[in-house]
Amino acid sequence: MERDRNPGTGGETHQHPDAGGDRLTTAQGIPVSDNQNTLKAGPRGPSLLEDFHFREKMFHFDHERIPERVVHARGYAAHGFFEVTDAIPDLTAAHLFGEKGRRVPVFTRFSTVAGNKGSPDLARDVRGFAVKFYTEEGNWDLVGNNIPVFFIQDAMKFPDLIHAAKQEPDRGFPQAQTAHDNFWDFISLMPEAMHMVMWIMSDRTIPRSLRFMEGFGVHTFRFVNAEGKGHFVKFHWKPKVGMQSVLWDEAVKINGADPDFHRRDIWNAIQAGDFPEWELGVQVFDDAFADSFDFDVLDATKLIPEELVPVRIIGRMVLDRLVDNFFAETEQVAFCTQNIVPGIDFTNDPLLQGRNFSYLDTQIKRLGGPNFTHIPINAPRCPMHHFQQDGHMAMHNPKGRANYEPNGWAKGGPRADLKGGFRSFPEEIVGEKRKIRAETFADHYSQARQFYVSQTDIEQGHIADALVFELSKVVALEVRTRMVAHLPHIDADLAAKVADGLGLDGVPTPHTPARKPISDLVASDALSILKNGPDSFAGRKLGLLVTDGIDDDAFDALKEAVEKAGGMVEIVAPKVGGIVTAGGRKVPADQKIDGAPSVLYDAVAILATTEGATALAGMHPARTFVADAFAHAKFIGLSEGTDPLLDAAGVKPDAGVMTIGAAKDAQAFVQTLGALRYWDRKTA
């Protein structure tokens, strides 16, 4: 695999787009004669204040950072397009959904929530999934997550939630993790969070790749068609290559081996032309369904099972272009939930209503003024006509005399478009003005249970393990106990397992629920990752550990079989310079063994001579390469002669460890890899 094929990193001079040649200048365009030394009075004398070149260079450097996002600080984004595959003009007047085949450009940013900008990618955390659609009728921002529900029901609690999740204020740690007292103290006092707790303790929060996860709009939105008729809608993104997560032990190790694991994965995939793709689906329903549903559709801690309201696929999103400049695009992009287009509307979900204030407000702080829509990544790609003017960094300044409406100059325009302009759905509202939570939001446990019982045994085990791990990091016994006292309402067995894992004296007395939970909601297969995995190795990566003297045919056959299946092979060797095959061919390595633990791969294979395997057996990273792959239930392909390494690693081959001596073995091996893990080993 070529390491880096991005044309932008080929070593050419870093120039501004308008740079005219080779001559270095100041930002004012003044030619520079010396870029190594400050201006001095004598070679050993003091620096002079007069050195405008030095002062400008340092001043600009000092101001390179803008405030990181208060949440979702760490993110990665790419450009692409959205294409309609099933037009829905009957449901919405939104131009972008009006015609099959219609395409609009998108910019999509994925993120973790709690960690700071420099935090590792494999933190156990919700992933942001924010899409900016540059439509012909303005920008629509669908600012969602990879989990369809949220912790809280009312925006009033968001600052508390985030304060509790981020590093504790006195000590400044831990960051990028919820395994600490403040988080679980808060959560255990918030029964409404229990459904989300099941999701965050599941493998959803440790995705293998941003390419292999679902996305959700979370809130109920509204579609409005040309006749003004409204429907409720929930948005879903479904990854074309299926879902996949890592194991917790892998996450912990990946964070050390490659803290940029997720962003590197997106970068490599797009560079290799393996463009990440999702389908956009909608769950559409009316007032009658909303009234009959067990829960309130305005409550963001609830989802609507796909088995109840099927997801209708209406389009696809393909991310096919990396950014040119991380700061200009990924850092400066300003998603705003209130950016919607005619044909789409909000509902009264009190979380969404609060977000509609917060996002605009936060952009002014981060980007420094009201003209952030002038920054190219935020600018609509359709015509704009308004009378807003001036302000910090105004880049698009109108010409002419008229800066108010109505005016009698020119032809009097632009004017509001009564028919085509955005109009809110004319919902009738009556009610007392009060700070209040609706009674219909009072059920906190039923869907938490439904999520749990929808998981496979393996996934249920991971949820229990994650709860035990996180709560074991909590110092205060009362917090651990208070949290576990919620679990009997979700599942008795889960409560018992976690209580036992924490060494509590039995399951604590359950809290009194605000409303009696419904315990017989039907399980939903759509909620499980393992029931919705891939059926091939496409988009996945094999770590191939090799030594000198290996058989050329076995090597070629394996590489070819993986690539034919749409996967990638990364060559790992004792030296980065690579190896020489039995046939005398020099094969460069992508990684030296010390820098490529098997946690970075979806499956591994080892092609080695007996001599090579004996040498590997003496290397700790080579032994853990195999031992970890085995412990993580990965498939392992082996050539003859690898026994010394296996013995040294303490691995006793089972049915998930396969011989790949001949070409046909390679094909069978790669076919097996579609299952991703040999779970029988884990359960055994």
- Where does this chain bind ligand HDE (CB under 6 A)? 69-72, 75, 109, 111, 128, 130, 143-145, 150, 155, 158, 218, 300, 333, 335, 351, 354-355, 358-359, 362
CA distance linking residue 548 with residue 610, whole number of Å: 10
Nearest distance from C-beta of residue 426 to ligand HDE, angstroms: 25
- State both tokens at 129: 């999934």
Residue 75 or 549: the one with the smaller Cβ distance to ligand HDE is 75
Indicate the SS3 state at residue 83: strand
**Cα–Cα distance for residue pair 112/525, rounded to 1 Å:** 26
Judged by CB, which is closer to ligand HDE: 355, or 480?
A: 355
| Nearer Cβ to ligand HDE (144/239) | 144
Of the candidates 154, 218, 238, 435, the residue with the CA atom closest to the CA atom of residue 346: 218
User: Closest distance between ligand HDE and the C-beta of residue 147, in Å?
Assistant: 8
Count H helices, E strands: the chain? 19, 18
Contacts of 546 (CB under 8 A, 6+ apart): 555, 571, 572, 573, 579, 587, 589, 606, 607, 608, 612
Cβ proximity to ligand HDE, 237 vs 335, nearer residue = 335
Residue 59 or residue 357: which is nearer to ligand HDE going by CB? 357
Q: Which of 95, 139, 145, 486 is catalytic?
A: 145
Q: In angstroms, rounded to a whole number, what is the distance separating the alpha carbons of residues 602 and 539?
A: 10
Q: DSSP label at 227?
A: T
Give the nearest distance from C-beta 154 to ligand HDE in angstroms. Answer: 8
Whose tokens are 């028919």? That residue is: 419
Q: Is 283 helix (H, G, I), strand (E, B) or coil?
A: strand
The Cα–Cα gap between 209 and 241 comes to 11
* CB neighbour list of residue 514: distance below 8 Å, 6 or more residues apart: 191, 442, 443, 444
Match 């479904």 to its residue by tokens.
238
- Taking the least distance from each CB to ligand HDE, the nearer of 197 and 579 is 197
Distance CA 608, CA 613 (A): 6
| SS3 state of residue 129 | strand
| CB of 146 vs ligand HDE, minimal distance in Å | 9
The CB-of-517 to ligand HDE minimum distance in angstroms stands at 23
> Looking at 53, 72, 95, 511, which residue is catalytic?
72
Bridge-based pairing of strands 344-345 and 579-580 is: unpaired
CB of 201 to ligand HDE, least distance (A): 18
Q: Rounded to the nearest whole angstrom, what is the least distance from the CB of residue 369 to ligand HDE in the complex?
A: 15
Question: Can 72 be counted among the known catalytic residues?
Answer: yes
- Closer CB to ligand HDE, residue 190 or residue 604? 190
Task: Please tell me the distance from the alpha carbon of residue 316 to that of residue 277, in angstroms, as a whole number.
Answer: 7
Residue 145 catalytic? Answer: yes
Ramachandran assignment for 601, one of left (phi > 0), alpha (psi -120 to 50 degrees), beta (any other): beta
CB closest to ligand HDE, residue no: 128
What is the CA 426 to chain-centroid distance, rounded? Answer: 35
The alpha carbon of 364 is separated from its chain's Cα centroid by a whole number of angstroms, namely 24
The set of residues, in sequence order, having a beta carbon less than 8 Å from that of 461 and lying 6+ positions away, is none
Q: What ranges make up the beta strands (E) of 217-276?
A: 221-224, 230-239
- Whichever of 358 and 667 has its CB closer to ligand HDE, that residue is 358
Alpha-carbon dihedral 104, 342, 334, 366, rounded to 10 degrees: 160
Q: Closest separation between CB of residue 339 and ligand HDE, Å?
A: 12
- Smallest gap, in angstroms, from Cβ of residue 113 to ligand HDE? 8
Question: How far, in Å, CA of 215 to CA of 239, rounded?
Answer: 8
- In the complex with ligand HDE, which residue's Cβ is closer, 372 or 537? 372
**Any idea which residues carry the catalytic annotation?**
72, 145
